[in-house]
Amino acid sequence: MRVSVTAGGRRWGGAGVATAAWGADHRGGAAMIYLDNAATTYPKPFSVLETVYRANRKYAYNSGRGGYRESVQTAEKIFAVRDCLGRFFHCPEQNIVFTNNCTTAVNTALKGLLKPGDHVLISALEHNAVFRPIYKLAREGRITFDQVPYHPDPDRFLQNIRALEQPNTAMVAMLHASNVFGVVHPLGLVGDYCRRKGWLFVVDAAQSAGILPIDMQAMHISALCAPGHKSLFGTMGTGVLALADGISPDSLTEGGTGSHSFDPQMPPDLPDRLEAGTLNNPGILSLGAGVRFIEKTGRAEIHEYEMRLTRWLYEELAACPGIKLYTPPEHIGVPVLSFNVDDRTSEETAAYLAARQIAVRGGYHCAPCAHRFFGTDKRGTVRVSPGVFTGMNECEYFLNSVKFRE
């Protein structure tokens, strides 16, 4: 899907725009300009929606719980998605664990892998998905932790890690890309250092999975946590915990798995060990359709298109009086941009734009650590995040609404 858009004297080529891919009614009849893709991608590709419909019609059976044809076929479809994700992240397919969201995947990795007395390093930009579980474990006296200051220079960031490591350091757990400021941590460099030190490396890929290349083997990632509903284009209620060989966290939830039923403990093997209860078949199959959409369209092409829009928005906003931007454009690695307007709170600006049918996110984005680090903890920021279905005309409307604000 290649589309060119002409706007403002510029010609844009990219992975697509919503009106070209979906037609005039691509928002389901709602006249909304959606620029909140960092929260969840919208709209979903048609192939994803069609897959959900087919799953509820044809694969609405309990996989791994029956020997009849429909149950077996459903299990085969689920396994095919594991295989798809395993290839996508360079991870053994049996080590792909399905969860209900990225936060559950993070909690499973942290609470299932850390031992009493461990010291953990997390970044200074963490989302609460990482910070709150770590804080709770520390408050209970089970672990200690330090936060590594962000630095745009990868070598300086690694120096910051070295400065905080302890004899009992056992893990680095950090986000790949900031959901507020769009900056990216150097996974390859950090992962290699963790390998040399014998540490676990847990990555929250909420803002990068499907956008940035992630090779678990090359980056020495122990556990990769990703949401299905963001840039993997699956539906809500889906998440992935991808584990390296030899990494098997203790279970966070116990229950039926369809195997080893007389054993009072959870099965020793993955993925059963971490998948208690009935799986979300429609959601999991939608996740497979989302990854196929990425592979067909081109991950790099999607990223390039979204970053073109992000850079254009940055340049135009930077030229507007009264606009405060927080991240130099050369440091933004994912399509996430934060700003503030005049002396308004971020929520006031977001409400003003919402009244003009523009969807952005104001506030603290569940990431107080990042806001404290960048000095925006008093009023938060307005976050704008274009997606693959965002049209240039939509970005222009947003920009004009900010430029000619009341």
Do 325 and 282 share a structural domain?
Answer: no
With respect to residue 192, please indicate whether it lies within any of the assigned structural domains.
Answer: yes
Say what the pLDDT of residue 30 is.
Answer: 54
The stretch 264-279 carries a mean pLDDT of 92
Claim to verify: residue 269 and residue 322 sit in the same structural domain: no
Place of tokens 């960092």: 38
Q: In the predicted model, what is the mean pLDDT of residues 370-376?
A: 98
pLDDT at 351: 97
Q: Do residues 259 and 337 share a domain? A: no
Is 39 contained in some domain? no
The domain boundary, picked from 242, 262, 296, lies at 296
Rounded distance between C-alpha atoms, residue 185 and residue 198, angstroms: 20
Residue 38 lies in a domain: no
More confident residue, 23 or 211: 211
Percent of the chain with pLDDT over 90: 86
Domain stops at, among 241, 272, 296 = 296
Is 304 found in the same domain as 258?
no
The model's pLDDT over 116-159, given as tens digits with 9 standing for 90+, comes to 999 999 999 999 999 999 999 999 999 999 999 999 999 999 99
Q: Are 290 and 261 within one domain?
A: yes
Query: What's the pTM value of the predicted model, to 2 decimals?
Result: 0.92
pLDDT for res 3: 35
Q: Does residue 301 carry a pLDDT above 50?
A: yes
Residues 19, 62 share a domain: no
> Average pLDDT in the 220-224 region?
99
Q: Would you mind telling me the total number of residues written for the chain in this entry?
A: 406
| Residue 328 burial (C-beta neighbours within 10 Å; 0-12, 13-18, 19+) | exposed
Q: DSSP 3-state assignment of 107?
A: helix
Q: Is residue 45 part of a domain?
A: no
DSSP class of residue 298 equals -
Is a pLDDT exceeding 70 seen at residue 12? no
CATH number at residue 270: 3.40.640.10
Domain range holding 397? 3-31+299-403
pLDDT band at 406 (very low <50, low <70, confident <90, very high): low
Q: Cα separation of 115 and 300, whole Å?
A: 38
363 and 214 inside one domain: no
**1 pLDDT above the threshold of 50:** no
Counts for the chain of helices (H) and strands (E), in that order: 12, 15
Report yes or no on 119 lying in a domain. yes
pLDDT digits (tens, 9 = 90+) for 318-360: 999 999 999 999 999 999 999 999 999 999 999 999 999 999 9
Find the range with the poorest average confidence among 67-71, 160-164, 293-297.
67-71
CATH for 331: 3.90.1150.10
Domain count, the chain: 2
| 257 and 306, same domain (yes or no) | no
Average pLDDT over the chain, rounded to whole? 92
Domain check: are 164 and 286 in the same one?
yes
Residue 115, domain member (yes or no)? yes
Judge whether 242 lies within some domain. yes
| pLDDT tier for residue 24 given thresholds of 50, 70 and 90 | very low
The tokens of 370 are what?
Answer: 């990042």
Same domain membership, residue 258 and residue 123? yes
Q: How many CA atoms lie within 13 A of 269 on its CB side?
A: 7
In a domain, 356, yes or no: yes
Same domain, 79 and 198: yes
Q: From residue 368, give the alpha-carbon distance in Å to each of 116, 178, 381.
A: 26, 12, 11
Confidence of residue 316 (pLDDT cuts 50, 70, 90): very high
CB 374 within 8 A of CB 324: no
Reported as type and span, the H/E element at residue 201 is: strand 200-204
Do both 287 and 306 map to the same domain? no
pLDDT value of position 76: 95
Residue at which a domain ends, from 242, 264, 296:
296
